[in-house]
Amino acid sequence: MTMKPEEKIVLQIEALLSKCKRSYDEIKPKYPADDLRSSIIAAAGNILHSYHTFMCMTLDTVTEKKWWETSFGQGKPNLNDLSALKNIDGMIKHAFLVFFLSRIEWSMRKFIIEVFPEESDRSSGPFKQVYDFLFKKLGMEKYIPLYDLCRTIRNTMHNNGHYIYKSKEIEWNGKVFQFKHMQPIEFFYYELALGLYSDLLDSIDTFVNNKFIADLQHVPDIDQSENA
């Protein structure tokens, strides 16, 4: 039986969840649950879990003829339905990257406050200022283009998926991604999106295992501490 595209996406997300769990299982014995090094990985896992849940729901609904018959009295979507599904697909694909990256961003801002208090003003600046500062401090500059790419994709969400600034190129993983002034981005397919999740997980794992970060005493997560 031919596998549905959504089934392939579910399997890919499950692989990402397994990857995230391995990182969390390795770090969990070292730090308490309210330590930022634990919670930054846990937060990423929570977003992936939500993504997985949504895609599983998709498999049981819009990809099934019976669901269309029960819900709309027809065995397949009409043209208006197909247009709506296309919009939902684009919205969800972008939205989960926004949520995923936002959780990382929030954690990084808290790291600056807790670990580099003398530089805490950087925590309230633009996201690029945040990761540029941390990655340069920790010798992780190779990940800057990855975050430039993800941040730029995320920002197009505010402009109906269009890139409104001066045209530019970002190179990551041997590929060049073009952002053209006032044009929609044409390359954000599931293959790329899920690949970026994997790369971001790698960056988080490298970050928390960086010797400087790993050797720190307890780094409290403000949110977790308040909820304890």
DSSP summary character for residue 22: H
Cross-strand pairs, 178: 169
3-state helix, strand, coil in the chain (%, to 5): 70, 5, 20
Residue-wise pLDDT tens digits, 96-134: 999 999 999 999 999 999 999 999 999 999 999 999 999
Cβ-based neighbour number of residue 192 at 10 Å: 18
- Which residue is listed with tokens 């044409």? 186
- The predicted pLDDT at position 224 comes to 60
- The predicted pLDDT at position 91 comes to 87
Average pLDDT, the chain: 93
Average pLDDT on 183-205 reads 95
- The predicted pLDDT at position 157 comes to 84
DSSP summary character for residue 76: S
Residue-wise pLDDT tens digits, 28-67: 999 988 999 999 999 999 999 999 999 999 999 999 999 9
Dist. CA 200–CA 40, nearest whole Å: 12
Phi and psi for 32 in degrees, rounded to 5?
Answer: -70, 165
DSSP summary character for residue 35: B
Domain 5-216 sits in CATH at 1.20.120
